[in-house]
Amino acid sequence: MSDYERLIVERDGPVGWLIFNRPDAANAMDVTMLDELERAWDELERNPQVRVIVNTANGSAFCTGVDVVQLSKDKAALTVHSRRTRDATLRMSAWHCGVTKPVICAVNGVCAGGGLHFVADADIVMAADSATFVDPHVSIGQAVAYEAITLIQKSPMEPILHLALVGRRERMTANRAYQLGVISQVEPPDHLRTAAQELAITIAQNSPSALAATKKALWGALETGMTQAKRHAGPLVTAQWAHPDAAEGLQAFIDGRAPQWAEPDSQGS
């Protein structure tokens, strides 16, 4: 795939991989990486051969947030990032970038501060047993907002507030994150990528159009009350009935054979 300086973007069968690749800086996001993230999500979303996306990192850390020191040296980039932060229009995560394909976050090591965006915004999260989660924002005088706001929608709230308010001296382990349902799978570090690929392959057997509509319904449900969310989901359910996959899926089930899904178009729908 295209050239990236701070990322590795590749495909293994139906699985697209977005790998943070700035290990000497604990995968902190500098200006280049921020730009590349937006491009990489878009590339994976548009590639019709990619059905599921895995996000992980090279090195011992997963991601340690925005590289504020480097960012502050680039006046123009700082302005863009500050404006996006102010307007809640960040373009870091798959959710920010409107990715409609399933995204698995495979946390290989420490995930700190802004790195939590990728955990909060993924559909499925797994981690190495050595991974930890920490939110040092308040320890360096910054407010916590987006990462924790999403996480408290998805998991018990006290542990998220706990991390947000204690700051850099508190780390949540992978096992605790599993207990709380923040993540659903813990693996030995050297098996993490294999496990992520296996799960992604499993998901890739499902109807791409049904997966996209399901994602839309479920993430949309975090925006409104329950009944309103169900009302919004109704048209997504019935629209799928007009898609060839809906009839094919049921017929294949009745015939006891593997379904032949329609090829998704290049927009990833």
Partner 1 sequence: MSSQFQHLLVERRGPVGWVINNRPEHLNAYNTKMHQELAEAWRTLDADPQVRVIVHSGEGRAFCTGVDVNEMASDDFGVERYRQAVEDNDLGLTPLHLGVGKPVICAVNGVCAGGGLHFVADADIVIASSEAEFLDPHVSVGQVAAHEAIGLMRKMPVEAVMRMSLVGRTERLGAVRAYELGMVGEIVDPPDRLQEVAQALGETIAANSPAAMAATKKALWGALEMGLTDACRAGAVHLVSMWGHPDQSEGPRAFAERRRPNWALPIDPRTSAATDPSAATDQSGEGGPRP
Q: For the segment 66-125, give every residue that binds partner 1 (CB under 8 A).
A: 102, 123-125
Residue in the structure block whose two tokens are 């937006």: 38
Amino acid (1-letter code) at residue 137: H
> Which lies closer to partner 1 via its Cβ, residue 72 or residue 241?
241
**Cα–Cα dist 211/203, whole Å:** 9
| Long-range CB contacts for residues 119-124, cutoff 8 Å, separation at least 24 | 119/147, 119/151, 119/182, 119/183, 120/93, 120/146, 120/147, 120/148, 120/150, 120/151, 120/154, 121/93, 121/94, 121/95, 121/96, 121/150, 122/55, 122/93, 122/94, 123/215, 124/184, 124/199
Stretch that binds partner 1, among 76-84, 86-94, 139-147, 206-214 (CB under 8 A): 206-214
Q: Which of 172, 211, 264, 268 binds partner 1 (CB under 8 A)?
A: 211
End-to-end Cα distance, the chain = 21
192 sits near partner 1 (criterion: CB under 8 A): no
Size, binding site for partner 1 by CB under 8 A: 58
Binding mask 215-254 for partner 1 (x = CB under 8 A): x-xx--xx--xxxxxxx-xxxxxx-xx-x-xxxxxxxxxx
Of 10, 267, 27, 265, nearest to 2 (Cα)?
10
Residue closer to partner 1, measured from CB, 1 or 210: 210
Q: Which of residues 127-166 bind partner 1 (CB under 8 A)?
A: 153-156
Residues 128, 190: contact at Cβ < 8 Å?
no
At its nearest, how many Å lie between partner 1 and the CB of residue 219? 8
* Stretch of 10-18, 26-34, 38-46, 177-185 lying at the interface with partner 1 (CB under 8 A): 177-185
* Binding-site ranges for partner 1 (CB under 8 A): 102, 123-125, 153-156, 179-184, 199, 202-203, 205-207, 209-211, 213-215, 217-218, 221-222, 225-231, 233-238, 240-241, 243, 245-254, 259, 261
